[in-house]
Structure 1
Amino acid sequence: MSPSPVVVVMGVAGTGKTTIGPLLADRLGVPYAEGDDFHPAANIAKMTAGQPLTDEDRLPWLDDIGAWARGREGLGGVVSCSALKRSYRDRLRAAAPGVVFVHLAGDRRLIEDRMSHREGHFMPTALLDSQFATLQPLEPDEPGFAVDVSGSPEEIAERAAAALRDHRRRQPAP
Structure 2
Amino acid sequence: MTTNNETSEGIQIIVMGVSGSGKSTIGALIAGALGVPFVDGDSLHPQSNIEKMAGGQPLNDDDRWPWLATVGRTLADAGRRGTGMVIACSALRRSYREAILETAPRTRFVHLAGTREVLATRVEGRSDHFMPTTLLDSQFATLEPLGDDEPGIVINIDQTVPAIVAEAAAALTESSSA
Q: What TM-score comes out, normalization by structure 2 length?
A: 0.91
Structural mapping, 1:52-131, within 5 Å: 52-73=58-79, 74-131=82-139
CA shift at 1:139, angstroms?
Answer: 1.4
Amino acid at match of 1:43: N
Which residue identity lines up with residue 149 of structure 1 in the other structure? I
The amino acid that maps onto 1:9 is: V
- State whether structure 2 residue 140 is matched by structure 1 residue 132: yes
Deviations 1:70-104 (A, max 9, x none): 10124321001000001100000000100000000
> How many Å apart are 1:62 and its aligned residue?
0.5
Q: CA separation in 2, counterparts of 1:168 and 1:82?
A: 23
* Cα RMSD, aligned residues only: 1.3
What does the per-residue CA deviation read over 1:36-76, in whole Å, with 9 as the maximum and x for residues that have no partner? 00001110111011110000100111111111011012432
Which residue is equivalent to 1:38?
44
Match of 2:152 among 139, 144, 157: 144
Deviation at 1:166, TM superposition (A): 3.1
User: Distance in 2 between the 1:163 and 1:126 partners?
Assistant: 33
Measured after TM superposition, the shift of residue 167 of structure 1 is: 2.8
Q: How many Å separate the matches in 2 of 1:119 and 1:167?
A: 36
Q: Distance in 1 between matches of 2:69 and 2:142?
A: 19
Counting matched residue pairs gives 170
The unaligned stretches of length 5 or more in structure 1 are: none
Which aligned pairs between 1:21-32 and structure 2 lie closer than 5 A? 21-32=27-38
8 Å contact kept, 1:15–1:105: yes
- 3-state SS of paired residue (1:56): helix
TM, length-normalised to structure 1: 0.93
Q: Secondary structure at the match of 1:137?
A: coil
Following the alignment from structure 2 to structure 1, what is the Cα–Cα distance between the partners of residues 147 and 155? 14
Q: Is the 8 A contact 2:16 2:111 kept in 1?
A: yes
